[in-house]
Amino acid sequence: MHIDRRVNTAELQTDALSWIGHTGRHYRLLPESRTGFQLSERAVHVLIAGSEALWCGSAADIVADPQSRARFRAAMTGEVAVYRIEPPPDEDRRAMVGWDIMRGHPAESLLRAS
For the stretch 18-69, pLDDT in tens is 999 999 999 999 999 998 889 988 899 999 999 999 999 999 999 999 999 9
* Strand order across the 26-32 sheet: 52-57, 45-49, 81-86, 26-32, 17-20, 105-106
- Please check the confidence at residue 7 and state whether its pLDDT lies above 90: no
pLDDT at 114: 45
Cis previous bond, 88, omega within 30: no
To 10 degrees, the CA torsion angle through 36, 42, 43, 48?
A: 100
What are the domain boundaries of the chain?
17-113
Say which DSSP state 78 is in.
Answer: S
Q: pTM, whole model, 2 decimals? A: 0.80
